[in-house]
């Protein structure tokens, strides 16, 4: 008789996340095995631009941005994938609808120039840092005059050190 409440508690603990929506049970059943999951409007909004505002669609507040959102939502409702939606946006609004530059032609410079600048800066640091450190050490040695201890100071230091032996 005591086991029934424990089993009920275990059952509730296991099913509570599913009932709360924390575990998407129906999402796996809606897609076929090996099929890509459907995309959502917020995912696409971060990757495209408002063609009139020239800002990302997720922050744009204009009638044109609302039309683009409605167009995207219609494509999502038709079951289009993310790549198909982007292709449809390019066909409808032109390449200005995409937030990222293309990966061919002159637009590839948008990816290569920052990478080249980063590599150049790291290389410069690797070359110059040892030189700067050597220069700083040499400067410190020149600025700090070498001080010789007098005979009395040496005797006093030796006496102080002998007390610790």
pLDDT digits (tens, 9 = 90+) for 117-127: 999 999 999 99
Model-level pTM? 0.47
Average pLDDT for residues 59-79, to the nearest whole number?
A: 91
Q: Which pLDDT tens digit goes with each residue over 127-159?
A: 999 999 999 998 888 887 777 888 899 999 999
8 Å CB contact between 16 and 40: no
Torsion angles phi and psi, residue 75, rounded to 5: -65, -40
pLDDT, tens digit, 9 for 90 and up, residues 29-55: 444 555 556 788 888 888 898 888 888
Strand partners, 49: 56
Neighbours of 81 (CB within 10 A): 15
Domain residue extents for the chain:
36-100, 103-142
Rounded to whole angstroms, the Cα distance separating 42 from 108 reads 26
Q: 36-100: what CATH class? A: mainly alpha
């Amino acid at each position: 008789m005591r086991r029934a409440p424990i089993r009920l508690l275990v059952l509730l603990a296991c099913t509570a996340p599913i009932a709360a929506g924390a575990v998407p049970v129906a999402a796996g059943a809606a897609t076929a095995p090996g099929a890509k999951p459907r995309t959502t409007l917020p995912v696409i909004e971060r990757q495209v631009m408002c063609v009139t505002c020239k800002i990302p669609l997720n922050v744009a507040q204009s009638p044109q941005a609302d039309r683009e959102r409605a167009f995207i939502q219609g494509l999502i409702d038709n079951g289009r994938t993310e790549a198909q939606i982007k292709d449809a946006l390019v066909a409808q609004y032109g390449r200005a609808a995409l937030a990222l530059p293309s990966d061919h032609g002159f637009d590839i410079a948008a990816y290569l120039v920052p990478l080249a600048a980063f590599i150049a800066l790291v290389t410069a640091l690797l070359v110059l840092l040892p030189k700067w450190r050597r220069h700083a050490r040499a400067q410190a040695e020149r600025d700090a005059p070498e001080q010789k201890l007098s005979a009395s100071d040496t005797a006093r230091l030796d006496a102080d050190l002998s007390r610790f032996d």
